[in-house]
Structure 1
Amino acid sequence: MMKLNWSDVTPHKIFLDRRKFMAAGAAAVALPALAGRVQAQGMTGRPSPLSTDQTPNTFEEITNYNNFYEFGTGKEDPARNAAALTTDPWSVEITGLVDRPGSYGVEDLAPDNALEERIYRLRCVEAWSMVVPWIGVPLASVLAKVGVQPSAKFVEFETLVRPEEMVGQQRAILDWPYREGLRLDEAMNPLTILATGLYDQPMPNQNGAPIRLVVPWKYGFKSIKSIVRINLLEQEPVNTWKQLQASEYGFYANVNPQVDHPRWSQATHRVIGSGLFGGREETQMFNGYGDQVASLYAGMDLSVNY
């Protein structure tokens, strides 16, 4: 019997649409038991012109191959260990140089009527990639709600610390809590979103439930997961990976095929789901989003500001 690769599996969204169609037909011929097996759809988001037209990876690939060191360092550890995480209730503290600081629920930051679907390429610093259909809201809309003060220049993000539920935090793998940051103009770029869903499902725990950052032109470690704090400040914030090893992980972390990681090339990457003989693809500058973001770095030496 032939073993299927993940790339042979029907993408989750098409699968659900097909099941709806089949269930409707089954009901018409009086097979209610079959119709009752249809998986209910959850979240929906308006289509966005900022989405790529590339086919997304399967739900199974996206949720079973990822980095989330709070649950372990293996690619399958988050899926194995994240079920213990309590995500309801959840609040995000917004602090610093804002007019309306406070504690905000996820539903306040990303209400159902504001959700958009953003199908983005994701490029990991480890030189692998996938395509993910996120559901979320522009970060700019959230910052507009709280009122950014003129002196703010950077946005800092912080992940939850709960070692009794996040088993990776029981070891000093990183300096917890995980922290990341963006320059304010990066945060306000239309591509930058806070995501609360994946395909038509609420964000899975292993992918950063209930709310995470997505910055598609940067390496994946910039898109911090399970956010509990957003802080507006004047000075560049400390970032976890840069603090750990500044020679390997810079503040900007823009996808750049011309600047190698000290231990491997960034010129090409492995596409998750391409199969054993899928080969590698050439990496695009800014992960292919240069038209939207290159102007943010005009005049900067991106080999120094890596």
Structure 2
Amino acid sequence: MNIIRKKSWEISQNEVTPKELFEKRRSFIKLGAASLVASGAIMELLAQENLPKITLDFIKDENKNNLKLNTFEQITSHNNFYEFTTNQSAVKDMAHTLKTDNWKIKIDGLVENPMEIDLDDLKKMLMLEERIYRFRCVEGWSMVVPWNGYTLSSLIKKVKPLSNAKYIRFETLVDSSSFPDQDRGVFATLDYPYVEGLRIDEAMNDLSFLAIGLYGDLLPKQNGAPIRLVTPWKYGFKSIKSIVKISFVEKEPLNTWQKQNPKEYGFYANVNPNVDHPRWSQKKERVLGSFLKQNTLMFNGYEKEVASLYNGMDLRKYF
């Protein structure tokens, strides 16, 4: 099995699953029994822990921090996905309408190699990794997720941005047959398509990630299938779901929530316990499954990796 070098943001691998299951998986690997993945014993064990079958081949993320991973059930049952509904617990039951077959992503704008790429081809083009990240919602809840996917920088290098490309603009699918809220017209919750953006240097940071799976299986629809952005030092609304278009542009794109309410949501949306949301404090967060709140970390615990991106910037002004 391939192992990647440990990094300061990594989380202990033995927290990815309950300890008993982790140790049994490790034993199978030591025995070289990859063929046993499909065995009845493994399937029964996975079912007991409510975990998906491991269907993806990826480089494991060996982590050194000791954070407890949220369960698959928690991660897939508490979702903000307004294209379906504003009811977080109802998204899971509604997400079956999202059609992900033959998914294509258009990459255009200020690049040498614009392309429209099939998701299956993208899987062959780039090396699949596991990244275990903290995830912090602007609403004050958080979780820890084992994503599977690719560094955003690896895709950027393929398309070769031009020198005047300063930002990347991301766009979610518009399809009223997939997304009920888009079918509501002027009564929709948001103005679609959902749009997000990053500066090029943010996008090139090693933490920026394109996820196609979690817990070793393809991404559930309620979590942004078939491909989503993950920027773990930013609030969750920056991690745009169900991406169909990536454009390289010169000017800062207006993201959806910034357009919706610019006094409450900025372009950067970096996790900052020292800057409250106008309607609530950001100093603490509640981890899904926990009763007590914990302190929110600057940049969600990734200050060492990303703080230099914002040197000289007033983080109260550029929120």
Query: TM-score, normalised to structure 1's length?
Result: 0.87
Map 1:208-287 onto structure 2 (within 5 A).
Answer: 208-274=224-290, 278-287=291-300
Q: Give distance in 1, aligned partners of 2:248 and 2:274.
A: 31
Matching of residue 298 in structure 1 with residue 311 in structure 2: yes
Gap change, CA 1:14 and 1:159, over 3 Å in 2: farther
2:99 to 69, 86, 104: 86
Aligned to 1:137, what secondary structure does the other structure show?
A: strand
Query: Are the aligned partners of 1:256 and 1:266 in contact in 2 as well (CA < 8 Å)?
Result: yes
Equivalent residue, structure 2, for 1:99: 112
Cα deviation 1:254-279 (Å, max 9, x = unaligned): 000010000000000111111xxx31
Q: How much is the aligned-residue C-alpha RMSD, in angstroms?
A: 2.4
Letter in 2 for 1:234: E
Gap change, CA 1:273 and 1:139, over 3 Å in 2: same
Between the two proteins, what is the percent identity of the paired residues?
A: 52
Q: Give distance in 2, aligned partners of 1:261 and 1:146.
A: 37
Letter in 2 for 1:213: L
Map 1:145-164 onto structure 2 (within 5 A).
Answer: 145-164=158-177
Gap change, CA 1:70 and 1:187, over 3 Å in 2: same
Gap change, CA 1:46 and 1:53, over 3 Å in 2: farther
Matching of residue 119 in structure 1 with residue 132 in structure 2: yes
Aligned to 2:157, what secondary structure does the other structure show?
A: helix
Aligned to 1:304, what secondary structure does the other structure show?
A: coil
Query: Are the aligned partners of 1:152 and 1:233 in contact in 2 as well (CA < 8 Å)?
Result: yes
Letter in 2 for 1:67: N
Q: Give distance in 2, aligned partners of 1:297 and 1:202.
A: 34
Q: Give distance in 2, aligned partners of 1:142 and 1:235.
A: 21
Gap change, CA 1:34 and 1:45, over 3 Å in 2: closer
- Shift of the alpha carbon at 1:17? 7.1
Q: Give distance in 2, aligned partners of 1:51 and 1:229.
A: 35
Query: Are the aligned partners of 1:85 and 1:165 in contact in 2 as well (CA < 8 Å)?
Result: yes
Query: Are the aligned partners of 1:159 and 1:178 in contact in 2 as well (CA < 8 Å)?
Result: yes
Letter in 2 for 1:242: Q
Cα deviation 1:189-236 (Å, max 9, x = unaligned): 000010000001100000010100000000000000000000000000
Gap change, CA 1:60 and 1:144, over 3 Å in 2: same
Q: Which runs of 5+ in 1 are unaligned?
A: 1-9, 23-31
Q: Give distance in 1, aligned partners of 2:273 and 2:169.
A: 26
Matching of residue 76 in structure 1 with residue 114 in structure 2: no
Aligned to 1:236, what secondary structure does the other structure show?
A: coil
Gap change, CA 1:235 and 1:50, over 3 Å in 2: farther
Letter in 1 for 2:218: P
Query: Are the aligned partners of 1:44 and 1:117 in contact in 2 as well (CA < 8 Å)?
Result: no
Aligned length: 285
Gap change, CA 1:51 and 1:90, over 3 Å in 2: farther
Equivalent residue, structure 2, for 1:183: 199
Q: Give distance in 2, aligned partners of 1:271 and 1:145.
A: 37
Letter in 1 for 2:190: L
Gap change, CA 1:92 and 1:130, over 3 Å in 2: same
Letter in 1 for 2:127: A
Q: Give distance in 2, aligned partners of 1:298 and 1:103.
A: 35
Q: Give distance in 1, aligned partners of 2:73 and 2:315.
A: 35
Q: Give distance in 1, aligned partners of 2:25 and 2:82.
A: 35
Q: Give distance in 2, aligned partners of 1:251 and 1:69.
A: 19
Letter in 1 for 2:203: A
Aligned to 1:80, what secondary structure does the other structure show?
A: helix
Aligned to 1:232, what secondary structure does the other structure show?
A: strand
Q: Give distance in 2, aligned partners of 1:232 and 1:13.
A: 43
Query: TM-score, normalised to structure 2's length?
Result: 0.83
Equivalent residue, structure 1, for 2:211: 195
Query: Are the aligned partners of 1:57 and 1:131 in contact in 2 as well (CA < 8 Å)?
Result: yes
Equivalent residue, structure 2, for 1:26: none
